[in-house]
Structure 1
Amino acid sequence: MPTNAKNLIESYYAAFNAGQPRAMLDLLTDDVIHDINQGARETGRDKFAAFLDHMNISYRERLTDIVVMPGADGTRAAAEFVVHGEYLKTDPGLPEARGQRYVLPAGAFFDISDGRIARVTNYYNLQDWLRQVGAG
C-alpha cells in the first residue's frame, strides 16, 4: 500500500493505465465518494466498480502527462493529465459510438483517509469531447 498521497495517486493511475480495475479498487475506501464529470455523486466501492465496468465497455482510455499535486497535510491531492481514448460502444444519452478517437485534458481531485482514496472528483470539457466524437 502506498505510504503517501503522491504515491497513492500515482498507483491509482498506474493501475488505470495497466487495465487493472481490481488494483484501483483496492486503493479506495469502502465508502469512497465518486463525483462523475457533469454527472451524479455516487458513494461506495461497489458503485465505483460498476462505473469502471461500464467505462471499460464503452471506452478504451490511456492517460499521459500525469502530474500529481499532493496537499501539504496528505489529506488531499489533485492530478492533471491528458486522456487518449477511443469511443467503443454507445453510452446512453450520448452520440453513437463508431470507434472515434479523442484527446482531452482532464483533472481530478482526491480526499485521502487512512492511506486510501476517500473521494475522486473528475473534470474534463464535455463539449470538447462531444466535438471530437462528431456530435451535432
Structure 2
Amino acid sequence: MINLSSIDLMKLSLSLESRRLEAASENLANINKTYSNSSDVPGEFYLKVNQLPNITDVVIGHTQSPDFLIEVDKSKKRAEYQSGNIEYRVDINLEEKVIDLNEAKNAYEASIRLFNNSKEISRNIMKIGGK
C-alpha cells in the first residue's frame, strides 16, 4: 500500500487522461484506413486500468499503485468488397470515438485546472504563513 498525495493523484489523473487521449486519437486515425490483409488491421485501441483507487481509499491512505496501459482489441475488424477485392478495416464507430476523445480532453483539462488551483492555494498559504 502507498499513500497518494494530492500531487500524486493529479499526476495520475493527467497520465491516465493523456493515455486515453492517445488511444482515442489512434482510433480516429485508423477509421478510414484500409488493409489488404486481415492480419494487418491494428484493431481498436483502449486504455486498460487495473487497481484504480477510489476516492475513499485515497483519503484514508489505503491505496495501491494503479497499473494502466493501452491495449488493442484485434477482433474489431470488418471485411468489405471494393471493386472485386476484399478490403479490411477497423470496425470503429466514429461518433463513439469522437465522444471518447471529447470526454478524455475535458477530463485532462479538468485535471490541469485542479493542479493550477492547488498551486494557487499553496502559494496563498505560503503568503499567509510569511506574514
Which of the two has greater strand per residue? 1
TM-score w.r.t. length of structure 1: 0.25
TM-score w.r.t. length of structure 2: 0.26
